[in-house]
Amino acid sequence: SLCWLNGRLLPTEQALIPVNDHGLLYGDGVFEGIRFYRRRAFRLQRHLQRLQLSARAIALEIPLSSDELTAVIERLIDAFADDDGYIRLMVTRGAGALGLNPKSCSQPNVIAIADQLTMIDIGQQAGARLIVSSVRRLPADGLDPRIKSLNYLNHILAKIEANHAGADEALLLNAQGRVAEGSADNVFIVRNGRLLTPPCSEGALEGITRELVLQLARDNGIETSEQPLGVYDLYAADECFLTGTGAELIPVASIDCRAVPCCPGPVFQGLQQAFRRTIDQECGGE
Ligand code: PLP
């Protein structure tokens, strides 16, 4: 795995930042996960836009312009061993005094790691086994879920719960008990041929893959609706799947041990093909 750190490319194990970086001390920072295919970053400008908005929301000024970040990502991809892979782009508040006040942090650290990533490994199974986690997405002091910050403890606790249950992934509900999202992915269901997903106001990240899948569905004449969903809606779904940069599109085989009737279902399979075609179009096909 290869890392770009403040202007230098080096093996990730050799890329070091100070232990008093507020990213480590307080999770003070923002990030993006970006995939590249055939050495071209997929939807890079959307990711850089979201990073910029996340940073603005936590009053963090990214020391590089969007063009400079684009050049960083391109340089990292060029130097990486494989044609396809995953990039973790991070901006931390930087090193500073102990104490959470960011005033003492003079220079944010910009870090980009390229590696392979299998977010959810379903192995030989038809799809992922999900649980509905007891961890809620919006605690009382909740950060806006649209901010992709370095604070992922809710999602990590949900993932631990999935591990304990022998499941592949966990879904988080919001404070009202309605469906928000997966630990690092958005969730969709199909019911009577309609594609449904919760609006982001229910506590989901504005997923870039989510946005694309909604667009592809509409382009293919599938009726879509962003509407609040309860756990019952998950259990009653004909199909269910997850979307994310890391996850790409993953069909769901069961939710809380209730089998999903169609896995992978016809709507999922059509969208999966359309998703692959979009990658071919934007990142160069064979
Ligand atoms: N939800 C969370 C909490 C995430 O961390 C991610 C990240 O990838 C997603 C959803 C999916 O978003 P995207 O499709 O932009 O990768």
Least confident of 35-39, 144-148, 220-224, 228-232: 144-148
What's the CATH number where 50 sits? 3.30.470.10
Q: Residue 144's pLDDT is what?
A: 87
What's the CATH number where 154 sits? 3.20.10.10
Residues 110 and 139 in one domain: no
Q: Kindly report the CA angle at 51 between 169 and 273, in degrees rounded to 5?
A: 50
The model's pLDDT over 129-140, given as tens digits with 9 standing for 90+, comes to 999 999 888 655
Which among 115, 147, 178 is the end of a domain? 115
The DSSP annotation for 19-79 comes to TTBHHHHH--EEEEEEEEETTEETTHHHHHHHHHHHHHHTT---SS-HHHHHHHHHHHHHH
Q: Which residues line ligand 1 (CB under 6 A)?
A: 33, 155, 181, 184-186, 205, 207-210, 243-246
The answer on pLDDT for 276 being more than 60 is: yes
What's the CA-to-centroid distance between 109 and ligand 1, angstroms?
22
Structure tokens, 207: 């997923």
81 contact partners, CB below 8 Å, separation of at least 6: 2
Does residue 123 lie in a domain region? no
Residues 101 and 132 in one domain: no
For ligand 1, atom 12, the nearest C-alpha belongs to 207
Residues 88 and 137 in one domain: no
Which among 64, 82, 115 is the end of a domain? 115
If one residue of 34, 155, 185 were mutated to test the ligand 1 pocket, choosing by the most ligand atoms within 8 A of its CB, it would be 185
- The structural domain count of the chain equals 2
Does residue 219 lie in a domain region? yes
Domain residues for the domain of 161 are: 128-283
Mean pLDDT value across residues 159-170 = 97
Structure tokens, 73: 């990502």
Active-site option among 129, 148, 155, 210 = 148
Does residue 75 lie in a domain region? yes
The model's pLDDT over 23-67, given as tens digits with 9 standing for 90+, comes to 999 999 999 999 999 999 999 999 999 999 999 999 999 999 999
Nearest in space to 206 (alpha carbons), one of 46, 25, 23: 46
Residues 278 and 136 in one domain: yes
Residues 169 and 229 in one domain: yes
Residues 142 and 243 in one domain: yes
What's the CA-to-centroid distance between 204 and ligand 1, angstroms?
8
State yes or no: cis peptide before 63, omega within 30 of 0: no
The answer to whether residue 148 is catalytic is yes
Evaluate whether ipTM surpasses 0.95: yes
Which among 115, 144, 176 is the end of a domain? 115
The answer on pLDDT for 141 being more than 80 is: no
Cβ contact 197:188 at 8 Å:
yes
Residues 176 and 274 in one domain: yes
Atom of ligand 1 nearest to the CA of 148: 5
Q: pTM higher than 0.90, yes or no?
A: yes
Residues 266 and 235 in one domain: yes
Atom of ligand 1 nearest to the CA of 210: 14
CA distances from 76 to 3, 11, 14, 82, 258 (A): 7, 11, 15, 11, 43
What's the CA-to-centroid distance between 111 and ligand 1, angstroms?
19
Does residue 120 lie in a domain region? no
Residues 153 and 73 in one domain: no
Cα 24 from Cα 149, distance rounded (Å): 12
